[in-house]
Structure 1
Amino acid sequence: MSEDNKHHATAAAILPLVGGAENVASVAHCMTRLRLGLHDRSLVREDQLTALPAVLGIVEDDTYQIVLGPGTVARVTPEFEALVEAERAGTAPAPAAPDAGADPVTAETLAAQGAALRAERKAKNATPFKLFLRRIANIFVPLIPALIGCGIIAGLNGLLVNLQWLPGVTPALAAIASGFMALIAVFVGHNTAKEFGGTPILGGAVASVIVYAGVANVEAFGRDLSPGQGGVLGALGAAWLGVHVEKWCRRRVPEALDVLVTPTVTVLVAGLATLFGLMFLAGEVSTWIGDAADWLLAHGGGGAGFLLGGLFLPLVMLGLHQALIPIHTTLIEGAGFTVLLPILAMAGAGQVGAALAIHLRLPRNTSVRTTIKSALWPGLLGVGEPLIYGVSLPLGRPFVTACAGGAFGGAFVGLFNQLGTEVGSTAIGPSGWALFPLLDGNHGLGQTVAVYAVGLLVGYIAGFLTTYWFGFTKAMLMELNAAPDAPADGQQPAPTTRVTERV
């Protein structure tokens, strides 16, 4: 089967299992997940959905998220969208039924544990503050592909400049890499207005004031403004204010005048507030964030790295890790790279080390070992959801020991920051091995790469050792290794299982 047919088949198998096109309110994707807005989640046939070979897990949040993995999700999503549109228009062929030969989901014990944890997590996370953080994350998630692409080009350009190769090409690469970052405020404003219920183009228009060169002629708080001052934080605030002004106008302006008055008042009021207040305040906050990150790592790098690396997996589990994107973006705008991401990436290393230990400690549990084999390569590339939701979190203790592995890896990278070797990333999104092309620092690429690579190794080893020695009780080992692979005489062979329970 060709790649295109495979992705079409995956989309066709998913659609009927989420209630068909009429149940789909919205379709989007991030780096690893197909994010669906569903009218009625009770129509989802989750057992059959998780049994599909392409589905690595499910995360229930404000959207229904199907984990497909990097690369795959970007190819399945347009196929899924096309099928939705075709089915609504009445021109779609009958959706392909799920492959009856697909590995069924059994492993009832882990599934039950995972379901209970997921329900508990969902109940705890439905707080206004956490929902607000997720809305902020939704603004930045669509920007990640551009941040990654431009970051890699910036890294390549820096390498060519240092080697003094292709001097006629490097200025063009610099322009390509910098163009998006120079205008990122506009995209943030557009997405902010969209997320908070305003007109996206008006959000972009208000935020564009921040990057306009002419703001250098404007004085606020006794100082001349500079283009880009306040960055993404200013753009977010400007567009959010614009949404409220727009909604106020919609309620009060007569319909006959709405098309003229509402956009004008929205851009004027929010624009003036941005120029004479938000840009200055957001600029001060951005400077404070950069100074705080530098101070934290310079004075307590090892300890700070330990805490950041150890706590990041729980943030991923809760879906709140993407709320850190504005901080990363602010650091990149100020220093050219974010020193936090390489430390946080150590959490994935701890997860990989823990998975290897689980594989070794459960020699008779085919289900878990099969899941680890399929999820290990994505884990090495920084995609941790399959290992988290399919293995360590349902098991319980191994999730804690995986966090410990990330803590030790984070402490190593943080310690080098404290000693003066900054290890940063020019963009956000990837981690694990996939972060190597984005690395940058203050002591040359070779030293930066070496520190990050050894940090990964520390995370792998610490995650493995802590999980091997402390990840299981004797009772857990007996229970999880109880059933041999071969069936007893007179019994039917146990089906091959693939643990995909999510939390």
Structure 2
Amino acid sequence: MSEENRHHATAAAILPLVGGAANVASVAHCMTRLRLGLHDRSLVREERLRALPAVMGIVEDDTYQIVLGPGTVARVTPEFEALVEAETAGTAPVPAAAPDPGPDPVTADSLAARGAVLRAERKARNATPFKLLLRRIANIFVPLIPALIGCGIIAGLNGLLVNLHWLPGITSALAAIASGFMALIAVFVGHNTAKEFGGTPILGGAVASIVVYAGVADVEAFGRHLSPGQGGVLGALGAAWLGVSVEKWCRRRVPEAVDVLVTPTVTVLVAGLATLFGLMFLAGEVSTWIGDAADWLLAHGGAGAGFLLGGLFLPLVMLGLHQALIPIHTTLIEGAGFTVLLPILAMAGAGQAGAAIAVYLRLPRNPSIRTTVKSALWPGFLGVGEPLIYGVSLPLGRPFVTACTGGAFGGAFVGLYNQLGTDVGSTAIGPSGWALFPLLDGNRGLGQTVAVYAAGLLVGYVAGFLATYWFGFTKEMLTELNAAPGTPGEEDPTAPAERVAERA
């Protein structure tokens, strides 16, 4: 089967299991997940969905999220959207009736994944307004990640060519290609902000474009002339949100006959003046403070700060809140050219991979979980952690905590080097693990930066492995999880995942 047919088949298999096109309210995707807005989640046939070969896991949040992995999700999503549109319009081909595969399969990995979803659901029900706001902000930046990655890798390649004095005639062109998006990122942020908060996207982009317009240098605010780009993405976000507020106010009060003239004009004028004479200056001060705070934290906290950041990142990933850090990363990249936080946070994935190897070795008589580990470990090395989190460590309980321990020690190692004066940063956001190597940058040369990051990964692997191997299981857990299927006295096979999680 060709790759195109395979992705179409995946989309076609998913659609009926989520209730069909009539149950789909919205379709979107991020780096690894197909995000669906569903009218009625009770129509989802979750066990069958999890059994699909392409599905790595399920996450229930404000949207129903199907983990497909990087690359795959970007190709399956348009196929899925086309099927939804065709079925809605009544033009979708009627598939041949397939034999009923019978009841949903009961396996250790599907039960483990179910346990992960139950925990995620409990945490989602406890979501606070602040967490929901962070998720909305994340929704603004997630669509920008592919461009950030592409431009970041090109910038890294260009820096290497410049340092080696190779191809001097092409480096200027590469610099323009890598910098063009970052120079105008405020416009895209404004567009997505207006879309997320219910305004007109193009008006959000228009207001945010003021931030990067060269002519703002002639405007004086708070006794100083503004600088193009002052306030960066934070200023653009605030300007577009204000624009949405003004636009909604106008829509409620302006007569329909003149709405098309008055509302856009008032929106851009009011939000634009507020941006020039307030938001740009304030956002610029906040951006400077974020950069200074990150430098101070790692210069003075070093290993301790890295330990906390690396150890707490997996719970953020579990809750889907890690994407709320994107504005901070982007602000640091705008200011210093790289973010020093991402390589430290990436150590969480190293701890997770080390823990997974320990789980594999500690459960020699559980082929189901071992198969899950083998299939999810390589994506884990490349920075895709959801399959290991939701399919292995989280439902087992203790291995999730020991994986966090591995990330903490890896983060402490990288943080220590930052404290000693070797900044280890990333020129873009998105990847982690081995996939972060092409994006590394720092203040001591690429070789030393790569060496420190690689050593940090090794520390994370080893610490996560040792913590999980020795402390990740109780004797009771090992006895139960290593019980051969069908042996006398074995307990009900429909409950081990939940039971083990509770005992952990």
- TM-score by shorter chain over 0.5: yes
Contact 2:60/2:117 (8 A) holds in 1: no
Is 2:119 aligned against 1:117? yes
Hey, what does 1:294 align to over in structure 2? 295
Is 2:56 aligned against 1:69? no
Hey, what does 1:324 align to over in structure 2? 325
Hey, what does 2:389 align to over in structure 1? 388
In structure 2, how many angstroms separate the alpha carbons of the residues matched to 1:432 and 1:89?
43
In the TM superposition, residue 124 of structure 1 has moved relative to its aligned partner by 1.7
Is 2:430 aligned against 1:429? yes
CA distance 1:59–1:488, change in 2 (3 Å): closer
Matched residue pairs, number?
Answer: 494
Contact 1:371/1:498 (8 A) holds in 2: no
In the TM superposition, residue 95 of structure 1 has moved relative to its aligned partner by 4.7
In structure 2, how many angstroms separate the alpha carbons of the residues matched to 1:208 and 1:360?
55
Contact 2:231/2:282 (8 A) holds in 1: yes
One-letter amino acid of the counterpart of residue 110, structure 1: A
Indicate the SS of the match to 2:27.
strand
Runs of 4+ in 1 over 4 A off after TM superposition: 95-103
Indicate the SS of the match to 2:338.
coil
Hey, what does 2:41 align to over in structure 1? 41
CA distance 1:30–1:116, change in 2 (3 Å): closer
Larger RCO of the pair (alpha carbons < 8 Å, separation 6+): 1
In the TM superposition, residue 88 of structure 1 has moved relative to its aligned partner by 1.2
Once the two structures are superposed, residues 324-376 of structure 1 have per-residue CA deviations (whole angstroms, 9 ceiling, x without a partner) of: 00000000000000000000000000000000000000000111101001100
One-letter amino acid of the counterpart of residue 178, structure 2: A
Hey, what does 1:81 align to over in structure 2? 81
CA distance 1:111–1:36, change in 2 (3 Å): closer
Hey, what does 2:182 align to over in structure 1? 181
| The 10-residue stretch of structure 1 (459-468 or 86-95) with the greater mean CA deviation from structure 2 | 86-95
In structure 1, how many angstroms separate the alpha carbons of the residues matched to 2:487 and 2:464?
36
Is 2:264 aligned against 1:263? yes
Note the residue ranges of structure 1 that are not aligned, 5 or more in a row. none
Hey, what does 2:361 align to over in structure 1? 360
In the TM superposition, residue 119 of structure 1 has moved relative to its aligned partner by 3.1
Note the residue ranges of structure 2 that are not aligned, 5 or more in a row. none
Once the two structures are superposed, residues 182-235 of structure 1 have per-residue CA deviations (whole angstroms, 9 ceiling, x without a partner) of: 000000000000000000000000000000000000000000000000000000
One-letter amino acid of the counterpart of residue 306, structure 2: G
One-letter amino acid of the counterpart of residue 438, structure 1: L
Once the two structures are superposed, residues 435-462 of structure 1 have per-residue CA deviations (whole angstroms, 9 ceiling, x without a partner) of: 0000000000000000000000000000
RMSD: 2.2
Identity of matched residues, %: 87
Contact 1:52/1:98 (8 A) holds in 2: no
Once the two structures are superposed, residues 10-58 of structure 1 have per-residue CA deviations (whole angstroms, 9 ceiling, x without a partner) of: 0000001111111111111111000111111111111111111110111
Hey, what does 1:192 align to over in structure 2? 193
One-letter amino acid of the counterpart of residue 260, structure 2: V
In the TM superposition, residue 148 of structure 1 has moved relative to its aligned partner by 0.1
One-letter amino acid of the counterpart of residue 76, structure 2: V
Contact 1:16/1:95 (8 A) holds in 2: no
Indicate the SS of the match to 1:168.
helix
In the TM superposition, residue 114 of structure 1 has moved relative to its aligned partner by 3.2
CA distance 1:357–1:99, change in 2 (3 Å): farther
In structure 2, how many angstroms separate the alpha carbons of the residues matched to 1:158 and 1:180?
17
Contact 2:111/2:497 (8 A) holds in 1: no
Indicate the SS of the match to 1:169.
helix
One-letter amino acid of the counterpart of residue 51, structure 2: A
Contact 1:367/1:498 (8 A) holds in 2: no
Hey, what does 1:401 align to over in structure 2? 402
Hey, what does 1:54 align to over in structure 2? 54
Contact 2:193/2:204 (8 A) holds in 1: yes
In structure 2, how many angstroms separate the alpha carbons of the residues matched to 1:286 and 1:300?
20
Hey, what does 1:219 align to over in structure 2? 220
Contact 1:412/1:455 (8 A) holds in 2: yes
CA distance 1:472–1:171, change in 2 (3 Å): same
In the TM superposition, residue 103 of structure 1 has moved relative to its aligned partner by 9.6
CA distance 1:326–1:46, change in 2 (3 Å): same
Contact 1:53/1:103 (8 A) holds in 2: no
In the TM superposition, residue 430 of structure 1 has moved relative to its aligned partner by 0.2
Hey, what does 2:236 align to over in structure 1? 235
CA distance 1:244–1:156, change in 2 (3 Å): same
In structure 2, how many angstroms separate the alpha carbons of the residues matched to 1:101 and 1:333?
55
CA distance 1:446–1:112, change in 2 (3 Å): closer
In structure 2, how many angstroms separate the alpha carbons of the residues matched to 1:123 and 1:324?
22
Hey, what does 2:11 align to over in structure 1? 11
CA distance 1:133–1:361, change in 2 (3 Å): same
Once the two structures are superposed, residues 279-338 of structure 1 have per-residue CA deviations (whole angstroms, 9 ceiling, x without a partner) of: 000000000000000000001110000000000000000110000000000000000000
Is 2:157 aligned against 1:156? yes
Contact 1:48/1:98 (8 A) holds in 2: no
Once the two structures are superposed, residues 450-476 of structure 1 have per-residue CA deviations (whole angstroms, 9 ceiling, x without a partner) of: 000000000000000000000000010
Contact 1:105/1:498 (8 A) holds in 2: no
Hey, what does 2:281 align to over in structure 1? 280
In structure 1, how many angstroms separate the alpha carbons of the residues matched to 2:95 and 2:188?
36
In the TM superposition, residue 98 of structure 1 has moved relative to its aligned partner by 9.6
In structure 2, how many angstroms separate the alpha carbons of the residues matched to 1:439 and 1:197?
37
Contact 1:150/1:180 (8 A) holds in 2: yes
In structure 2, how many angstroms separate the alpha carbons of the residues matched to 1:348 and 1:103?
31
Is 2:440 aligned against 1:468? no
Contact 2:61/2:121 (8 A) holds in 1: no
**What TM-score do the two structures reach when normalised by structure 1?**
0.95
In the TM superposition, residue 171 of structure 1 has moved relative to its aligned partner by 0.4
Once the two structures are superposed, residues 211-261 of structure 1 have per-residue CA deviations (whole angstroms, 9 ceiling, x without a partner) of: 000000000000000000000000000000000000000000000000000
In the TM superposition, residue 94 of structure 1 has moved relative to its aligned partner by 2.5
Contact 2:352/2:404 (8 A) holds in 1: yes
CA distance 1:112–1:78, change in 2 (3 Å): closer
Hey, what does 1:25 align to over in structure 2? 25
In the TM superposition, residue 122 of structure 1 has moved relative to its aligned partner by 2.0
Contact 1:349/1:409 (8 A) holds in 2: yes
**What TM-score do the two structures reach when normalised by structure 2?**
0.95
In structure 1, how many angstroms separate the alpha carbons of the residues matched to 2:245 and 2:53?
45
Is 2:316 aligned against 1:338? no
Contact 2:59/2:117 (8 A) holds in 1: no
